Amino acid sequence: MGQQILIIGLGQFGMSLARTLSEKGVEVLAVDRNLALVEEASLFVADAMQVRVTDETDMARLEPGKRDAAVCAIGDSSKEDSIICTALLSQLGTPFIVARARDSVHKRILKAVGAHLVINPEREFGRRFATRLINRNMVVDTDLGDDCLLTEIRVQPGMVGKNLIELELPKRFEVMVAGIRSYEDPSKIIHPNPSIPLRADDRLIIVSNERAIVELQKNFR
């Protein structure tokens, strides 16, 4: 059996998350107090229920302790509801709780009542979109946490014809090159050979912080 994840709150974020997880083969139980949203989610999730998320009896019916994780995706409508919901999930033995916060105070409270991970999707999307907008040579990035990104970038003009030994990226920018996607076969990522010159159509898979990416591109454009 695949993972079982409970999603509480079917606003734009919760609904999108439920759909994406379902498409990836996760068994999703989607929950909201709004019947219309529950009926919409029921078209693509394993199960969907109308529940009062601040009611202990209703929440117990969901058996969150038997799920792999629960996401309290309640939006801007009520901080109080999200706090109570998160506390009930913790009380009911949920193994891993993700909660959505509106601000830093809300985040601290959610952590205090039992959330293992607190997210702010709007803020995180805004930050990542700004990074992509500024660094348009960035192909894709993955947040590894603690200001650490796994990023695929195009080889910059000033890098072409030089090898990794000459570029000294770890020393100059605290950038580690984990792999190279060659233009000859974009489906494969190869281990970087530090003595082979880079080509214009190559892409670098790097591990760094966000500031390093900006500095690197500034220096080699």
Residue-wise pLDDT for 87-139, tens only, equals: 999 999 999 999 998 888 999 999 999 999 888 877 666 665 555 555 555 55
* Nearest CA among 156, 177, 159, 175 for reference residue 167: 159
Nearest Cα to 52, choosing from 85, 29, 80? 85
Tokens, residue 36: 């219309």
If asked whether residues 180 and 211 sit together in one domain, one would say yes
Give the end of a domain, one of 122, 139, 154: 122
Q: Is 63 left (phi over 0), alpha (psi -120 to 50) or beta?
A: left
Domain final position from 122, 153, 186:
122
Q: What is the mean pLDDT of the chain?
A: 86
Structural domains counted in the chain: 2
Both 167 and 97 in one domain: the answer is no
Tell me the DSSP string of 166-206.
Answer: HHTHHHHH--EEEEEE-TT-TT-EE---TTSPP-TT-EEEE
Q: Are residues 22 and 111 in the same domain?
A: yes
Q: State the residue for tokens 């233009």.
A: 183
Same domain flag for 153 and 213: yes
pLDDT in tens, 35-53: 999 999 999 999 999 999 9
Would you state the pLDDT for residue 189?
Answer: 85
Residue 34 has pLDDT above 90, yes or no: yes
pLDDT (0 to 100) of residue 126: 61
User: pTM of the full predicted structure?
Assistant: 0.63
pLDDT at 152: 84
- Residue 90 and residue 153 share a domain: no
155 and 215 both lie in a single domain: yes
Same-domain status, 44 and 97: yes
Give the pLDDT band of residue 216 (cuts 50, 70, 90): confident
Instruction: Tell me how far apart the alpha carbons of residues 83 and 87 are, in angstroms, rounded to a whole number.
Output: 6
The string of pLDDT tens digits covering residues 140-151 is 556 666 667 788
- Domain end point (choices 68, 97, 122): 122
Q: Are both 47 and 78 inside the same structural domain?
A: yes
In the chain, what is the straight-line distance between the N-terminal and C-terminal CA atoms, in Å? 49
How much of the chain, in percent, has pLDDT values that exceed 90? 51
